[in-house]
């Protein structure tokens, strides 16, 4: 687990999809914790640090919305992106009302996914560290024209620096 990578919890019951996407995200500097059930996601989030979660909507047992609610209850700063198949858009919209950051339709393009994960992580860093959007954008200015990956890296630096400051203040 690399310290400067973003910690992503990835939950999907389609194991082939889960495995191939996890590999691609790992190659793009994410620490990916992948599990195939909502119940396992709750456990994984208790044992590992999670910055952002990516959750499939339709799963046997706990579905995406139930998983989302349970995770949010235990980890209020966690931002969650819901993955949905064709024809489940209405339920995905319900998820945003239950606290999901956003939703994406499967199969999704990797660049599009990175863009959404970047926005979700940005929101987490802002909320957790009480940084307002204008200030946040200013802090990201040098990275603004860069790729989502560069911005994600910069966000992680900001987040880690705040953790450090928080620790020495106490
Ligand atoms: Mg599914």
Strand locations in 22-148, DSSP E? 30-35, 52-56, 79-84, 102-105
Ion ligand 1 — residues with CB < 5 Å: 13, 56, 58-59
pTM: 0.90
92 and 103 Cβ atoms separated by less than 8 Å: yes
- The residues, ordered by sequence, that sit 6+ positions from 155 with a Cβ below 8 Å of its Cβ are 6, 118, 121, 122, 125, 140
Q: Give the other-Cβ count within 10 Å of 136's Cβ.
A: 17
Question: Using CB atoms within 10 A of its CB, is residue 10 exposed (0-12), middle (13-18) or buried (19+)?
Answer: buried
Six token digits for residue 13: 């019951």
69 and 38 Cβ atoms separated by less than 8 Å: no
pLDDT for the residue 94? 86
Task: Tell me the domain boundaries of the chain.
Answer: 6-169
pLDDT for the residue 58? 94
| Ligand 1 centroid, distance to 82 Cα (angstroms) | 11
| Ligand 1 centroid, distance to 118 Cα (angstroms) | 23
| Ligand 1 centroid, distance to 88 Cα (angstroms) | 11
pLDDT for the residue 143? 61
| Ligand 1 centroid, distance to 84 Cα (angstroms) | 8
pLDDT for the residue 162? 77
Q: Give the other-Cβ count within 10 Å of 75's Cβ.
A: 17
Q: From first to last of the 170 residues of the chain, give the pLDDT tens digit.
A: 788 899 999 999 999 999 999 999 999 989 999 999 999 999 999 999 999 999 999 999 999 999 999 999 999 999 999 999 877 778 888 888 889 999 999 888 999 999 999 999 999 999 999 999 999 999 888 666 678 888 999 999 999 887 766 655 43
144 and 118 Cβ atoms separated by less than 8 Å: no
pLDDT for the residue 144? 62
- To which CATH superfamily is domain 6-169 assigned? Response regulator (3.40.50.2300)
| Ligand 1 centroid, distance to 62 Cα (angstroms) | 11
């Amino acid at each position: 687990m690399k310290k400067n990578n973003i910690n992503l919890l990835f939950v999907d019951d389609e194991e082939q999809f889960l495995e191939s996407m996890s590999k691609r995200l790992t190659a793009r500097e994410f620490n990916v914790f992948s599990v195939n059930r909502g119940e396992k996601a709750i456990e994984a989030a208790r044992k590992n640090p999670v910055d952002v979660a990516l959750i499939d909507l339709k799963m046997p047992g706990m579905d995406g919305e139930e998983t989302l609610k349970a995770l949010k209850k235990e980890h209020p700063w966690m931002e969650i992106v819901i993955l949905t198949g064709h024809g489940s858009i209405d339920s995905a919209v319900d998820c945003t009302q239950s606290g999901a950051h956003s939703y994406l339709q499967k199969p999704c393009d990797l660049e599009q996914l990175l863009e959404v994960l970047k926005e979700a992580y940005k929101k987490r860093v802002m909320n957790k560290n009480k940084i307002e959007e204008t200030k946040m954008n200013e802090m990201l200015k040098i990275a603004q024209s860069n790729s989502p990956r560069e911005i994600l890296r910069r966000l992680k630096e900001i987040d880690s620096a705040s953790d450090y400051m928080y620790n020495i203040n106490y």
